[in-house]
Every structure is written in C-alpha cells, then in structure tokens.
Amino acid sequence: MSDLQELYQSVILDHNRKPRNFGELPSASHEADGRNPLCGDEVHVALVLDEAGTIADVKFTGHGCAISKASASLMTAAVKGKSRSEAEELFARFHALVLGQDPDEGKTLGQLVVFSGVSRFPVRVKCASLAWHTLKAALESGATDTAAVPAVSTE
Ligand code: ZN
C-alpha cells in the first residue's frame, strides 16, 4: 500500500470513528432515508435549505460499514454552505470518482479524494455513494412531513 493510500485510509477511519455532523436535525426542511441492502448500510440525511437555496445545515444518522459512515460524514462537511446546484454537481463529480471516471482522479475534490480507491472495489461503490444518493433524494423531496420522507435504495 502506498503512503497516499495509507493517508486516505486513515482519513476514512477517522471519520468513521468520529463522524462530523452526526445527529438529529429537528429544524430540517428536507430529509430522506437511504439503504444499501448489499452491505446493510442505512443512513438518514436531514438538511435545512434556506430561502436563498443554500444548504444552511445538514446532519445524518444511521449505521453501516466504515466506508458508508465516513462518506456520510465527509459528504455533510462538503455540502454545508453550498447551493443545491453546487451540491448536485459535487455529487456528480464524486460519483465519477468512485466509478473511476473522474479525469482529475479527485485532485480538485478536496477531502473527498480519499474515496478514489473505492473504484477498485465495485461492491464498495454503493457504500461510498449511499449518503450522496440520499442527499439528492432529500433535496428533491421538499418533504417536511416525516411520514412522507422518501427512501432510496442503492440496490
Ligand atoms: Zn457498506
């Protein structure tokens, strides 16, 4: 394993152990549930979209493997303060990265670059992208009624 891969691994393990933005968000304007049945990962993403269309706050809860949890943690850190369209664009680029299709290999994706190695493990792509799919479902939902929380499955 190269030094770079070891560094990436340690960032993922750190976010798994101490996830950022983990917890409930009672003031959420948008939320969604995501499941990756192949691995057993489950995530709930809740966010506050302000009147300007900016993700003012975002949190997640759930459980799953280290990759899914670290990805949710890094996703929330990456999209907080971004507009909805910026967040969707970031998801498109992250998705290309984990599929091994990003021409920059994540070099302009900030900390998200730590998931570049996932492309070599196709079964892990769904773990890494679950939180992002769930974020997208939340942004598209507009649901404030918890009974109407949309659910996505990456299976
Ligand atoms: Zn997983």
Does the residue 71 lie in any domain? yes
Residue 143 pLDDT > 60? no
**Average model confidence (pLDDT) across the chain:** 92
pLDDT digits (tens, 9 = 90+) for 52-84: 999 999 999 999 999 999 999 999 999 999 999
Q: How far is the CA of 39 from the centre of ligand 1 (A)?
A: 5
Does the residue 92 lie in any domain? yes
Domain count of the chain? 1
- Per-residue pLDDT at 4: 82
- Determine the residue type at 95: H
pLDDT digits (tens, 9 = 90+) for 13-61: 999 999 999 999 999 999 999 999 999 999 999 999 999 999 999 999 9
Q: How far is the CA of 45 from the centre of ligand 1 (A)?
A: 16
CA distance 124 to 79: 22
What CATH number does the domain containing 47 carry?
A: 3.90.1010.10
Does the residue 149 lie in any domain? no
Q: How far is the CA of 141 from the centre of ligand 1 (A)?
A: 24
Domain residues for the domain of 129 are 3-142
Q: CB–CB of 19/69 below 8 Å? A: yes
Give the model's confidence band at 145: pLDDT under 50 very low, under 70 low, under 90 confident, else very high.
Answer: low
Does the residue 121 lie in any domain? yes
pLDDT digits (tens, 9 = 90+) for 80-122: 999 999 999 999 999 999 999 998 888 889 999 999 999 999 8
Does the residue 57 lie in any domain? yes
Q: How far is the CA of 100 from the centre of ligand 1 (A)?
A: 18
Q: CB–CB of 77/20 below 8 Å? A: yes
